[in-house]
Structure formats: C-alpha cells, structure tokens
Chains A and B, each alone.
Chain A
Amino acid sequence: MRLRYLMLVATVAAAFPCSAQQESWDYIGGGFGASDFHISDAHASPMIFSAWGIAPVLQYIHAGERTRHYAEASFYSSHLFTGIDNFMTDDTRARGRYAFLLSVAGSGGQDGPFRLFLGGSLNSFLSRSHYYYFIAPLNGYGSSIDTWYWSHSLDVALQCEYGFAEREFLFLQLYVPLLSNVSRPEYSPAGDYSYTENVWKMHLFGRTEVFPKNVSCDILLAFQVPLAWKFNIQFSYEFYFASYDVPRDVRMYMNNARAGVFFCF
C-alpha cells in the first residue's frame, strides 16, 4: 500500500516538473476562516445586525510573466444578533469572481519585486437574510421577512504585489464596481411573496446601475509562502463594504480572515 502511494506521489510530481526559474505559476486551493459581518437593511428592520460566521473559499491564481488571472468562489454564513435580544437574522452570502490583471508598473522595471497590476473583474455577490423574532409565550420563533442584495458587476481591479521569492509573495487587491445589475426586494414586503410556496421569491437580476449608484469596495490582502513540496500556505484578510438605496437603504460590511493551502504547478 505504501509503495503504491509513493508511486502515485512520484507520478504526480513528474507531471508537474519544478523549475527553479519557472516563468509562470498556477495556484489552486481553498481556505477557511471567519467572517465578521454587519448589516443594516431598512427594508427589513431599523436595527443593525452583526456576528461572526464561517467563510470558506476556493481560489485559483495564474501568475504569468505580466498577467494575473484570479478566480474565486466563496461562501459565508452567519447567525446575526442586534442589541435587542428577541430579534435575530440568519444571513447567507456567496460570491463568484473572475479577474484579469495586467502589469502596468513596477519597481526596477517589470521584473522588480514590487509590481502594480490593473484590470477588471466580473463579480457576483449575494447576501440573503431571513429576519425572525422570539415569541416568549411559545418559546419559539416567528418569521418576519426575507431580504437580499444580489449584485452582478463589472469591476475595475487593482493589485499591488510584492514578490519575496519564488512562490512567496504578498498582494493587495482592490475592486470597485463600475457597472452593476442589482437585485433587491420590491418596495412592498408583499411584492415578491409567492402565495403557492409561502416564500419570498428572489430575483436573479434587477436594476442596472452605474458607479457610484451601487457602491461597493472589496480589499483583499494575502500572503503566500511555500509550505512543503508544491504546496503553499496563504493567509488573507479581506474587507468588503456595499451600500445601495433601493427600495430602501441597505449597507453591509464584513471582515474576513482566512488561512488556506494551495497546490502550485
């Protein structure tokens, strides 16, 4: 059994020959961490809800000579509280993103350790919240309302990167949407309600907006360093903020801290 395992490892290693001066690298991996989420959605409640929750993520990075491709699928789940202990909210968030960035400047030319990349990204971010309240005499909960903020956007993306060594780098990404399509509930809480299913039906698409109507900002700071063989470890911190005023003001932000392992090839 051990021999089979060693042969498998050797085969995989042979399939991805390691070069000391490899011109491009691909990183694929996943991370897990915590998300500190805060939301104020006037459509559902005047209160601000917040809590820590989980934040798993899958990521792919292609680091070419002058380009960067970045893809991400992330998920977040939080059980939110407010200052009033009988009001609660379950919030589920998800994001899919693809970004393409091109090197535009660097210290000591394009091959220096510090480089600046500029590009764009396609981004889809969903936050769905179920508001409910505690009914003391029943020792149970009653449903209040479901709301959501679902933004599909074309973002401008900026990346600052510092390479310490091969497969060891620090990067900071900034995303700001230029053109977005935002799905939100209708003005009336009854507007999206389905009689037959007794649920609020979420719409995939909504209003198309141009910056700065749908304001959001996503900043990701990540550091990768070789862990062992072809594996890197990544530590990241992310700050995300979004604000939109249809049908009423919704504002949210989250701080995400994660650690993850990447396979490099």
Chain B
Amino acid sequence: MKCSLPVLVGSALIAAGCEEALLGPPPENAPRANFDMLWKTFDENYALFPVKAVNWDSLRLLYGSMITPATGEGDLWNLSTGLLSNLDDGHVKLMNRDFSRVYDASHLALRKADDFSLDLVRNRYLASPGVAGAGLITYGRIRNSRVGYIHIASFVSTVGNGADWAYDIDGVLRELQDTDWLILDVRNNGGGLVVTLQIIASAFIDHSILYFWQRAKTGPKHDDFGSPVSLVVSPRAGAPGYGKSIALLTNRFSASGSEHLTGIFRTLSTVTQIGDTTFGAFGDIINVAQLPNGWTFTYPCKLTTTPDGSCYEGIGFVPDVLVRNSASDISAGVDRVIEYAIAHIH
C-alpha cells in the first residue's frame, strides 16, 4: 500500500502533460480534412436536406475527388463554395480566416438589390419622414394623403444598437393612428432576430397567431427530427394596434425574419402583400461552426413550415399582387410598388 501513493501521484503528473493522450489528437489541418469536416458538419446537422433536392454523398465525391495534399487555399475555397452552392440557401455562408472572403450560398445573393431605394421613398413619397429604432425604422405619411408608411430595414438585436423595439414601433404606430390605412415596407430587409420581429408584429395584432412550425435535428441522419414546435405571436399589452388595411410591401430581398413577419401578416384579412416574391430563406437558428484552418461557416438548424405543412424554403411567399420595379424605374425616381399600393389599396 505504501507504494500506491507515489504511483498515483506520478500517474497524475504524467497524465497532466499528455493532452493528446487524454483528449485525442488535434484535428488535422489539411485541405481534404477541412473539406471533409465541412461536408460532415452539414451532413449531420443541416436541417434543410428534406427540402433540398441534393445528393449530398455524391457531392462529396464530386468536389472531394479534386482535392489533393497540394491543393492551395484558393482552390479549396472554390471547391468548398462549389459544394455549398448546391444548397442554394441564404443562411449558408462561408468566411475565411480574416473575413476577407465571405461566400453566400444563395443564388439570389448574386443578384443586385437595385429594385428598391429608401432614399427615393423618403425624398419623393414621404412628407416629413422620421426615423426610430436607431435609424432602422423610417416612417411618415405619404404626401397629400392620409396614408401612413413604415419601412423596417432590419430586425437586428435590441442589444448593441440602443434600440427598444417595442417602445419605438409603438410610438410610430401611435403617431400614425389617425391615418386611413398603412403601408408596411420590408423590402431589402434581410431579417434578424425572431424575438424582434415578434415584438413588432405584436404591436399590430389583436389576437394570437400561430404562423410557423419548426423542427430541430435530433440525430445525424437527414430525417432525424424532433417534434414540431409552434411559433406563436400574441398581442402585446399596451401596444396601440392597427385594425385598418395594411399593404405589406416585399421584394426578393425580403428574407428570413421578413418572411416570418410576412407569414404572420398573411394570416390577417386586412393585409395585402404587394411587390415581389420574398427571398425564400426559412431556416432558423443559424449556427456558426469552425474549421481547423480558421474558416467559419453558418448553417440553419431548424426546418420551418407554415401551419398547413408547406415549406417555402428556396421559393418564398408569392405576393397577392405582383409588382416589380426595374433598376431604371428607381433611377428615374419611380417606385411602382408603392404607387400601386397608393392607387389601389384605398
């Protein structure tokens, strides 16, 4: 028994210096190893495979076979983004180590967002425009009318920008209570946090709305999902509400959180969606993952469907009235979408 003490102490001290023995080898930072880790992370965690028509195993063979130990960072970047481009997902992004390269895996991201100008709306259509929400909310009245207008540029966090969304949107709605109807504009709004858009939606509604179902992965197989969880937004105590007609303006860059808001407002009989189809980015809870070469990448962790079970990922919400601006319309100082709303909703 006397010898047990030094043996145990010695064992502990030896073990203390053996990171690899205790935790396993560190991840290999080689081109193929990084590619495989990227592929495997999506294979086991990406929640949208059931609605993406891709053969993920084949894509690994296709792109992975082009990687050799001599593959440089540039070529690895091209092959990795090539792999991810097949997902055509606005929530999938790849960033290199110093963020000098940021890849967006959505085909829509290649398009230029030139069919909307907030400056044009502000200068040509609004009388005395105001701002709230740390500059993210632009509002006012359409000139020579009793029509209210609110544009929300983003649903980013309330933390960090000093905005109090409930206070700001309630204040804006109170100012516009005497209008006959309202234009709510989420064009070029790329989304943000669900909690933020729910706060905004809760200012308008007078009853609870179940607008989406979501399921999270529970295992590595593409169809390993847990029970669906409902997303419900309820009226907020003290919020002013707005029971009159609303024209909800969307375009192809109304994405993610904007599509949540659209999903809520589509259930209201007082709302007409005008403009272009939304982006079609319905994945939720975006995880940021790491690779041994210092790259980071994002992917959505939840599959989202509407209450009838439909998934609009990669499709978007088609508007009730399809009206598009061209780049030349905007250059010429015309916003056809807002003009259609003014002419027809009343």
Q: Are B22 and A189 in contact (CB-based, < 8 A)?
A: no
Chain B residues within an 8 Å CB radius of A237: 12
Chain A residues within an 8 Å CB radius of B231: 195
Q: Are A221 and B45 in contact (CB-based, < 8 A)?
A: no
Chain B residues within an 8 Å CB radius of A46: 27, 37, 290-292
- Contact digits for A175-200, partner B, Cβ 8 Å, 1 yes 0 no: 00000000000111111010111100
Q: Which of B19, B23, B98, B284 contacts A190 (CB 8 A)?
A: B284
In whole angstroms, what is the CA distance A87 to B292 when docked? 10
Chain B residues within an 8 Å CB radius of A188: 45, 47, 216-218, 226, 285, 301-302
In whole angstroms, what is the CA distance A43 to B70 when docked? 30
Chain B proximity of A103: nearest CB distance (Å)? 13
- B237 close to chain A: CB less than 8 A: no
Chain A residues within an 8 Å CB radius of B22: 38, 241, 251, 253
Q: Is the interface of B mostly helix, strand, loop or mixed?
A: mixed
Q: How many inter-chain contacts with C-beta < 8 Å in the A-B complex? A: 134
Which size class do B's interface residues fall under?
A: 35 or more
Q: Are A133 and B194 in contact (CB-based, < 8 A)?
A: no
- Contact digits for B210-240, partner A, Cβ 8 Å, 1 yes 0 no: 0000001111000010100001000000000
- Contact digits for B117-144, partner A, Cβ 8 Å, 1 yes 0 no: 0000000000000000000000000000
- B2 close to chain A: CB less than 8 A: yes
Q: Are B287 and A172 in contact (CB-based, < 8 A)?
A: no
The A-contacting residues of B in range 28-75, CB under 8 angstroms, are 29, 37, 45, 47
Which size class do A's interface residues fall under?
A: 35 or more
Q: Are A172 and B194 in contact (CB-based, < 8 A)?
A: no
Identify the closest chain B residue to A248 (Cβ).
B44
In whole angstroms, what is the CA distance A190 to B287 when docked? 8
Identify the closest chain A residue to B17 (Cβ).
A255
Q: Which of B1, B99, B194 contacts A137 (CB 8 A)?
A: B99
- A208 close to chain B: CB less than 8 A: no
Chain A residues within an 8 Å CB radius of B219: 187
Q: Are A48 and B26 in contact (CB-based, < 8 A)?
A: yes
Q: Are A133 and B23 in contact (CB-based, < 8 A)?
A: no
In whole angstroms, what is the CA distance A186 to B225 when docked? 12
Given A46-B292, A189-B45, verify A251-B23 contact (CB < 8 Å): yes
Chain A residues within an 8 Å CB radius of B290: 45-47, 84, 87, 131, 133, 144
- A160 close to chain B: CB less than 8 A: yes
Given A40-B23, A45-B290, verify A239-B97 contact (CB < 8 Å): no
Chain A residues within an 8 Å CB radius of B293: 84
Q: Are B195 and A253 in contact (CB-based, < 8 A)?
A: no
Q: Which of B1, B12, B285 contacts A114 (CB 8 A)?
A: B1
**Which of B47, B98, B100 has the most chain A CB atoms inside 10 A of its CB?**
B98
Chain A residues within an 8 Å CB radius of B26: 47-48, 83
- Contact digits for B271-286, partner A, Cβ 8 Å, 1 yes 0 no: 0000000000000110
- A145 close to chain B: CB less than 8 A: yes
The A-contacting residues of B in range 76-118, CB under 8 angstroms, are 97-100
Identify the closest chain A residue to B301 (Cβ).
A190
10 contacts between A and B (CB under 8 A): A38-B19, A47-B27, A107-B1, A133-B288, A137-B100, A144-B290, A172-B9, A186-B216, A239-B12, A239-B16
Known: A133-B290, A188-B285, A190-B302. 17 other contacts (CB 8 A): A45-B289, A46-B290, A48-B23, A48-B26, A133-B288, A133-B296, A136-B99, A142-B288, A144-B296, A160-B8, A172-B9, A188-B47, A190-B217, A198-B159, A221-B12, A253-B15, A253-B16
Question: Which 5 A-B pairs rank lowest in CB-CB distance, beginning with the nearest?
Answer: A190-B285, A190-B301, A188-B216, A189-B287, A239-B12
